[in-house]
């Protein structure tokens, strides 16, 4: 069964990809989506099996892969509780995103390629989560990286999309450098790359030290930190996060699947999978905790001020991943996986909802040009509402009932206190307030207020087209041309862009249209997830009584911590809810009650505002210290090194010396010069050979 789950998407990708145009859009869509739904239908029974306890961990070998001495790896599919969680997340979101793309990509001429990439991604992601060895995990890791590269650059005519695709791949490779060195180090220490074998041997390595780059340090700390660099790259943690916002160049369903629900959580999955290793190194745990908390806060501050709807959600994703990492960093792996699980549903929902808004607003992505969409696209509005209620963690603290994020995020915040890290707890609460603010800001700007659509170029184009040529005559061109304009603006944020109240009010004669059914159904299903995934599944992921029986060793489950989580003081229990209300209240004040307020604040704190808007200038900094020097040094080495030094002293020098020694030759023409050198060498070789051998 697991073979079918993993390999059906691959089959779909191969057929749709190689068939491409000859196959046609409809069969390609039908095949990929159909097989994904089969995969999904097969995955849920496995997950339920682990919940009821009727299934236990298993490994299905497929093929021998690399055998080099002790380095012996097979292609094998491992299924345990941790994998089962990821299986349902991946196949469910992927199947729904496939379906959603029928509507969203319907104007796209190149559909088979798109669906093939989506299925290829799903296959790679499934290989990642079923990995039984670090090397196969790396295969999936790179495979999702490839699919991400292809999908970000799907609109390959756009220079910005190509740049974003390369950036995503290369920045991820920086993380992969750490991952690879981590695998090498792990093999060196344990003599194997099989995950269960490594985890079993971890306790015996306690107190051991290892040399690395001339230093000596605790073995497990070195290995965990190297592996964690890989996780930071894939999960866009602070320092290696710069690719994620740019990845929004890809079509929106891609953002939902890859850059929200699945691929970016691979790092969290990796840390949970290897949790016994991390548990053996308090220093590595401190780093995970710190990086997670820092990312959580950093990304939230960027999300506060972005105007592009997708970028707000992208930073929100980055920030939520930070939550997952600091949960892991305090030893609450169950809570980290739980937040990964619920986040997959509500964040995919928010992205697909945003896609539906963008679809309705004729590819306009700037929230400043939205407004008053609540009545126009009510179903999308309600779906987004469910997502927002989930991400901000709305719920009733003492009845323990609420939306998905209420269960998972609050568990992390409480666990932070219970584990004895008030600093982490404080960051968690602060970010909960910021999350609530930017999420409601998005909702208010988009769905409330007055329509500001007339200011949008996209809308003007749409109306113009409708008058001149009849709607839809330039569809193919627009899907390529229009997002380009919008997304370019996102890359270099306009510092003095119009604020909300400076814009004209008016519809511009445009009528937003609700999305078709194939886009609304996934929204509906994910809304259910956003509502219910929290309280239905909480017992299995984090409750001390049930969860041990669910995980059964698939990750390090700290029962003690999960108990303590429930015994935190009342104020701590309420803190997240209060933060959420504060965020909601201030967003309401700033974007509904007094819409002049945001510009007052941004003028007052101009430095901070610009810092956030420009994403703390990471891109500029990296460009300055990595990208430009790489090209400059490359040019220098080429001209000064190869041409001016090596060639001049080497072959050209020899030819020159030969020419000097054969005085009479006044011809400087290079051909002759080299002839002399050539003849002399041949002669010398022949003479030496003859003299010694003869």
Min CB(456)–other proteins separation in Å: 25
Of these, 607, 660, 666, 692, which contacts other proteins (CB under 8 A)? 692
**Interface residues for other proteins in 160-199 (CB under 8 A)?**
162, 165-166, 169-170, 173-174, 176-177, 180-181, 183-185, 187-189
Of these, 42, 164, 244, 424, which contacts other proteins (CB under 8 A)? 424
Distance separating alpha carbons of residues 212 and 684, to the nearest angstrom: 49
- Checking 656-663 for CB contacts under 8 A at 24+ apart, the result is none
Would you state the structure tokens that stand for residue 334, as one six-digit string?
Answer: 């169950």
Residue closer to other proteins by CB (options 593, 648) is 648
**Candidates 152-160, 368-376, 550-558, 581-589; binding stretch for other proteins (CB under 8 A):** 152-160
Min CB(656)–other proteins separation in Å: 12
Binding of residue 656 to other proteins (CB under 8 A): no
Min CB(531)–other proteins separation in Å: 35
Residue closer to other proteins by CB (options 85, 116) is 116
**Candidates 1-9, 26-34, 89-97, 414-422; binding stretch for other proteins (CB under 8 A):** 414-422
Q: How many residues does the chain have?
A: 694
Distance separating alpha carbons of residues 258 and 348, to the nearest angstrom: 9
Binding of residue 633 to other proteins (CB under 8 A): yes
Distance separating alpha carbons of residues 302 and 244, to the nearest angstrom: 13
Min CB(256)–other proteins separation in Å: 24
* HEC profile of 643-688: HHHHHHHCHHHHHHHHHHHCCCCCCCCHHHHHHHHHHHHHHHHHHH
Distance separating alpha carbons of residues 82 and 88, to the nearest angstrom: 10
Residue closer to other proteins by CB (options 297, 521) is 297
Q: Which residues contact 434 (CB under 8 A, 6 or more apart)?
A: 297, 300, 301, 303, 304, 319, 583
Of these, 488, 502, 567, 642, which contacts other proteins (CB under 8 A)? 642
Report DSSP state, residue 505: P
Residue closer to other proteins by CB (options 3, 401) is 3
**Candidates 35-43, 237-245, 562-570, 646-654; binding stretch for other proteins (CB under 8 A):** 646-654
Binding of residue 138 to other proteins (CB under 8 A): yes
Contact string (CB under 8 A) for other proteins, positions 238-277, x = contact: ----------------------------------------
Of these, 401, 637, 661, 683, which contacts other proteins (CB under 8 A)? 637
Sign of the Cα pseudo-torsion (629, 632, 635, 637, in order)? negative
Of these, 24, 52, 61, 157, which contacts other proteins (CB under 8 A)? 157
Chain-centroid distance, C-alpha 439 = 19
With CB under 8 A as the rule, give the number of residues binding other proteins: 93
* Cβ neighbours around 593 below 10 Å, total: 12
Binding of residue 679 to other proteins (CB under 8 A): no
**Interface residues for other proteins in 89-128 (CB under 8 A)?**
none
Min CB(676)–other proteins separation in Å: 10
Min CB(461)–other proteins separation in Å: 20
**Interface residues for other proteins in 445-504 (CB under 8 A)?**
none
Min CB(634)–other proteins separation in Å: 4
**Interface residues for other proteins in 286-345 (CB under 8 A)?**
286, 289-290, 293-294
Of these, 56, 594, 661, 685, which contacts other proteins (CB under 8 A)? 685
Distance separating alpha carbons of residues 615 and 318, to the nearest angstrom: 12
Min CB(520)–other proteins separation in Å: 33
Residue closer to other proteins by CB (options 193, 530) is 193
| Radius of gyration for the chain, computed over Cα atoms and rounded to the nearest angstrom | 28
- Cross-strand bridge partners of residue 71: 68
Min CB(296)–other proteins separation in Å: 12
Min CB(293)–other proteins separation in Å: 7
Alpha-carbon separation of residue 466 from 454, 461, 509, 554 (angstroms): 15, 8, 10, 57
Place of tokens 């029928």: 102
**Candidates 39-47, 254-262, 548-556, 630-638; binding stretch for other proteins (CB under 8 A):** 630-638
Min CB(692)–other proteins separation in Å: 5
Of these, 631, 660, 664, 668, which contacts other proteins (CB under 8 A)? 631
Residue closer to other proteins by CB (options 81, 330) is 330
Min CB(208)–other proteins separation in Å: 4
Of these, 638, 657, 661, 683, which contacts other proteins (CB under 8 A)? 638
**Interface residues for other proteins in 60-89 (CB under 8 A)?**
63-69, 71, 75
Min CB(432)–other proteins separation in Å: 18
Of these, 492, 624, 646, 657, which contacts other proteins (CB under 8 A)? 646
Min CB(322)–other proteins separation in Å: 13
Binding of residue 597 to other proteins (CB under 8 A): no
Would you state the structure tokens that stand for residue 124, as one six-digit string?
Answer: 């790679």
Would you state the structure tokens that stand for residue 609, as one six-digit string?
Answer: 């505002």
Would you state the structure tokens that stand for residue 44, as one six-digit string?
Answer: 């849920």
Residue closer to other proteins by CB (options 183, 256) is 183
Distance separating alpha carbons of residues 11 and 21, to the nearest angstrom: 17
Chain-centroid distance, C-alpha 67 = 32
Q: Residue 635, class by beta-carbon neighbours within 10 Å (0-12 exposed, 13-18 middle, 19+ buried)?
A: exposed
**Interface residues for other proteins in 348-387 (CB under 8 A)?**
none
Residue closer to other proteins by CB (options 130, 446) is 130
Min CB(171)–other proteins separation in Å: 9
Distance separating alpha carbons of residues 77 and 128, to the nearest angstrom: 9
Q: Residue 434, class by beta-carbon neighbours within 10 Å (0-12 exposed, 13-18 middle, 19+ buried)?
A: buried
Residue closer to other proteins by CB (options 201, 581) is 201
Report DSSP state, residue 331: T
**Interface residues for other proteins in 35-64 (CB under 8 A)?**
63-64
Min CB(693)–other proteins separation in Å: 5
Min CB(470)–other proteins separation in Å: 27
**Interface residues for other proteins in 197-226 (CB under 8 A)?**
203-214, 219
Q: What does the DSSP assignment read for 229-272?
A: HHHHHHTT-TTS-THHHHGGGS-HHHHHIIIIISGGGHHHHHHH
Phi, psi angle pair for 19, to nearest 5°: -70, -40
**Candidates 82-90, 309-317, 565-573, 679-687; binding stretch for other proteins (CB under 8 A):** 679-687
Distance separating alpha carbons of residues 583 and 389, to the nearest angstrom: 12
Q: What does the DSSP assignment read for 31-91?
A: HHHHHHHHHHHHHHHHHHHHHHT----EEEEEEEEEEETTEEEEEEEEESHHHHHHHHHHH
Q: Which residues contact 283 (CB under 8 A, 6 or more apart)?
A: 218, 221, 225
């Amino acid at each position: 069964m697991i073979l079918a789950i993993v390999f059906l998407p691959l089959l779909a990708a191969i057929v749709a990809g190689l068939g491409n145009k000859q196959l046609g859009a409809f069969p390609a869509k039908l095949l990929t989506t159909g097989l994904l739904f089969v995969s999904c239908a097969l995955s849920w029974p496995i997950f339920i099996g682990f919940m009821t306890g009727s299934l236990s961990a298993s490994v299905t070998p497929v093929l021998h892969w690399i055998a080099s001495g002790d380095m012996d790896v097979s292609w094998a599919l491992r299924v345990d509780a941790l994998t089962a969680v990821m299986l349902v997340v991946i196949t469910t979101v992927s199947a729904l995103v496939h379906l959603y793309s029928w509507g969203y990509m319907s104007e796209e001429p190149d559909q088979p390629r798109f669906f093939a990439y989506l299925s290829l991604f799903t296959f790679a992601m499934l290989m990642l989560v079923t990995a039984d060895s670090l090397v196969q995990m790396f295969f999936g890791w790179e495979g999702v990286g490839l699919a991400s590269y292809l999908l970000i650059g799907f609109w390959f005519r756009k220079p910005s999309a190509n740049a974003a695709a390369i950036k995503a791949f290369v920045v991820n490779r920086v993380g992969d450098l750490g991952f690879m060195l981590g695998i090498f180090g792990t093999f060196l220490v344990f003599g194997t790359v099989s995950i269960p074998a490594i985890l079993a041997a971890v306790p015996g390595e306690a107190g051991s030290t290892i040399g690395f780059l001339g230093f000596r340090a605790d073995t497990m700390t070195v290995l965990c930190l190297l592996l964690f660099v890989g996780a930071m790259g894939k999960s866009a943690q602070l320092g290696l996060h710069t690719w994620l916002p740019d990845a929004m160049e890809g079509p929106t369903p891609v953002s939902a699947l890859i850059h929200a629900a699945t691929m970016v959580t691979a790092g969290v999955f990796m840390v949970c999978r290897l949790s016994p290793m991390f548990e053996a190194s308090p220093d590595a745990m401190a780093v995970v905790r710190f990086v997670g908390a820092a990312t959580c806060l950093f990304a939230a501050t960027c999300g506060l001020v972005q105007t592009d709807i997708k970028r707000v959600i992208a930073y929100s994703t980055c920030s939520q991943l930070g939550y997952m990492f600091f949960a892991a960093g305090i030893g609450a792996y169950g809570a980290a996986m739980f937040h990964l699980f619920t986040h997959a549903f509500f964040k995919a929902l928010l992205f697909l909802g945003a896609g539906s808004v963008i679809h309705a607003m004729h590819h306009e992505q700037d929230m400043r040009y939205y407004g008053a969409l609540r009545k126009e696209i009510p179903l999308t509005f309600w779906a987004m509402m469910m997502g927002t209620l989930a991400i901000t963690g709305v719920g009733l603290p003492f009845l323990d009932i609420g939306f998905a994020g209420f269960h998972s995020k609050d568990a992390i915040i409480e666990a932070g206190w219970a584990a004895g890290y008030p600093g982490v707890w404080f960051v968690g609460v602060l970010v909960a307030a910021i999350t609530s603010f930017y999420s409601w800001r998005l909702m208010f700007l988009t769905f409330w207020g007055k329509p500001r659509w007339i200011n949008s170029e996209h809308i003007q184009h749409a109306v113009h087209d409708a008058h001149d040529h009849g709607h839809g005559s330039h569809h193919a061109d627009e899907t390529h041309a229009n997002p380009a304009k919008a997304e370019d603006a996102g890359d270099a944020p306009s510092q003095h862009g119009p604020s909300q109240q400076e814009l004209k009010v008016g519809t511009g004669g445009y009528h937003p249209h609700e999305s078709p059914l194939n886009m609304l159904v996934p929204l509906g299903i994910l809304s259910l997830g956003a509502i219910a995934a929290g309280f239905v599944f909480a017992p299995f992921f984090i409750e001390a009584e049930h969860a041990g029986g669910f995980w059964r060793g698939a990750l390090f489950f700290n029962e003690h911590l999960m108990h303590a989580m429930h015994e935190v003081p009342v104020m701590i229990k309420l803190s997240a809810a209060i933060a959420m209300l504060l965020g909601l209240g201030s967003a309401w004040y700033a974007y509904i009650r007094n819409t002049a307020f945001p510009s007052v604040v941004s003028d007052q704190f101009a430095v901070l505002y610009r810092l956030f808007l420009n994403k703390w200038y990471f891109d500029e900094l990296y460009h300055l210290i990595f990208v430009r020097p790489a090209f400059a040094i490359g040019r220098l080495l080429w001209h000064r090194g190869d041409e001016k030094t090596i060639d001049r002293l080497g072959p050209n020098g020899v030819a020159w010396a030969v020419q000097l020694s054969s005085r009479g030759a006044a011809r400087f023409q290079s051909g002759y010069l080299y002839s002399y050198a050539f003849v002399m060498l041949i002669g010398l070789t022949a003479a030496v050979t003859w003299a010694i051998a003869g």
